[in-house]
Homo-oligomer: A and B are copies of this chain.
Amino acid sequence: MALHAKPLQLNTADAGFEAAFAARLHWSADTDAAIEQRVADILADVQKRGDAAVLEYTQRFDGLQAPDVKALEITQAELKAALDSLPAAQREALQAAAARVRKYHEAQKKASGESWSYRDEDGTLLGQKVTPLDRVGIYVPGGKAAYPSSVLMNAIPAHVAGVQDIIMVVPTPVRGSVATGGSGEAAVSSRGERNELVLAAAYVAGVTRAFTVGGAQAVGALAYGTATIPKVDKITGPGNAYVASAKKRVFGTVGIDMIAGPSEILVLADGSTPAEWVAMDLFSQAEHDELAQSILLCPDAAYIAEVQAAIDRLLPTMPRRKIIAKSLNDRGALILTRSMEEACAISNRIAPEHLEVSSSEPHRWEPLLRHAGAIFLGAFTSESLGDYCAGPNHVLPTSGTARFSSPLGVYDFQKRSSLIEVSEAGAQPLGRIAAELAYGEGLQAHARAAELRLNPVPPMREPT
């Protein structure tokens, strides 16, 4: 039987729309109690036994044999050699993408990541000092989801923020060994499968040190530190269920970025973009994995039919057509709306990770779009340009979390300290206000600390 890809067709004017729409959007991260328990055990073991535990799990899960964790470190010379070994076109593309991502994040730092302060009339100084984190860990998946572009997108903002130590961990499982975090017998070797493009990206992005470890054991090593792998302040980067569970568990000991769900694209189309372009954009999300979600919102029924025809025509040409078809059949949707305005309103309900405004007048609709990880304006702005090299980060909030969270950025690798310097003159009115409120809250030491700076110092009030 021929492969087909028929996203669910919906019409906002239909009575059953709301229910069908909600069902199609539904996704929930199942927490697997068995995985959680195993991850808790691995983390406790790494915290207790350090390097020895990391070595053992790396051998067991990745089939990688090494005399010590030091032997799992990839040197800067090896990273550079990986870059040098690339075909020229690939090397230049990587460097060009890195340069654009760096430029964008430098602008981001300038616009929203600098220290600031002001002085009151009485000389009191108020502000915030913005400083980089000291050391961060970047988790890079091995195997089929090894994306060098993700190395750039995680490491460059950290580098631009001014982070001194950027520690990358990337599993390099031995071919024929089980997946990281799995169990069972593994082929054991002293050399795992390294992805040269990933190592080259690490060199270009300014990674300081790199270790070929992965899974919960790598997250534990970064969170607690071992004799060889330094403890970091924050861990970012995507991973499988074991990695996600481990990141959640160490949150608080270290910072983490968001836990990502399946990737999504929403295309808002007015019918002015070639239908094949939109079809290919929907494919580009669907090809990630079967849970990825591609949705088209459009007020023009004839155009929706054109896009479906383009899907039918283009699907057989795609090497990853099986994944694309399953994703589009199970989770995709082509939704006919009453208007572009309604399409914008529905988009806000979805709060998509990627939002393409495939319209001849994108700036008419952009102000109506309140929630999205990234907004791609106009027909020439395919999501894939943003994924690789336009400049903005491709690590974006998924599953509707764009309602309350943001793209990965320089700000994720900085923290802020409030600065307060109260002058003697300023301490007089402020001290009276603070004391009044502190007595009201029953915190007399707070009140007295303020009052001791008053001239003259008033008598202490009795507690009420």
> Chain A interface (Cβ within 8 Å of chain B)?
29, 89-90, 93-94, 96-97, 104, 107-108, 111-114, 116, 118, 124-131, 133-134, 146-149, 197, 233-234, 252, 254-255, 259, 274, 276-277, 280-281, 283-284, 286-288, 317-320, 324, 355, 362, 366, 369-393, 396-397, 401-407, 409, 411, 415-424, 426-427, 429-434, 436-438, 440-450, 452-453, 460, 463
Task: Give Cα distance in the complex from A112 to B104, angstroms.
Answer: 16
A460 / chain B contacts, CB cutoff of 8 Å: 317
Residue of B nearest to A363 (CB): B421
Q: Is the CB of B372 within 8 A of A417?
A: yes
Q: Is the CB of A405 within 8 A of B411?
A: no
On whether A403 and B446 interact (CB within 8 A), knowing A374-B417, A441-B149, the answer reads no
Task: Give Cα distance in the complex from A130 to B371, angstroms.
Answer: 10
Q: Is the CB of B415 within 8 A of A234?
A: no
* Besides A252-B259, A276-B452, 10 other A-B contacts (C-beta < 8 A): A29-B252, A97-B434, A104-B126, A255-B401, A280-B445, A318-B448, A382-B422, A384-B446, A385-B434, A389-B434
A424 / chain B contacts, CB cutoff of 8 Å: 380
Tell me, rounded to whole Å, the shortest Cβ–Cβ distance linking A11 to chain B: 27
Q: Is the CB of B255 within 8 A of A441?
A: no
Task: Give Cα distance in the complex from A252 to B114, angstroms.
Answer: 29
Tell me, rounded to whole Å, the shortest Cβ–Cβ distance linking A40 to chain B: 11
Would you list 6 pairs from A and B whose C-beta atoms are within 8 A, ordered by A residue?
A: A283-B448, A287-B443, A287-B445, A318-B445, A366-B419, A382-B434
Chain A at the B interface: SS class: mixed
A442 / chain B contacts, CB cutoff of 8 Å: 320
A423 / chain B contacts, CB cutoff of 8 Å: 380
Tell me, rounded to whole Å, the shortest Cβ–Cβ distance linking A197 to chain B: 5
Choose among B324, B375, B385, B433 the residue that contacts A422 (Cβ–Cβ < 8 A). B385
Choose among B369, B384, B404, B449 the residue that contacts A233 (Cβ–Cβ < 8 A). B404
Tell me, rounded to whole Å, the shortest Cβ–Cβ distance linking A404 to chain B: 4
Tell me, rounded to whole Å, the shortest Cβ–Cβ distance linking A402 to chain B: 7
A288 / chain B contacts, CB cutoff of 8 Å: 443
Which 9 pairs show the lowest CB-CB distances between chains A and B? A255-B404, A93-B436, A377-B421, A392-B418, A111-B116, A374-B418, A283-B445, A406-B416, A388-B434
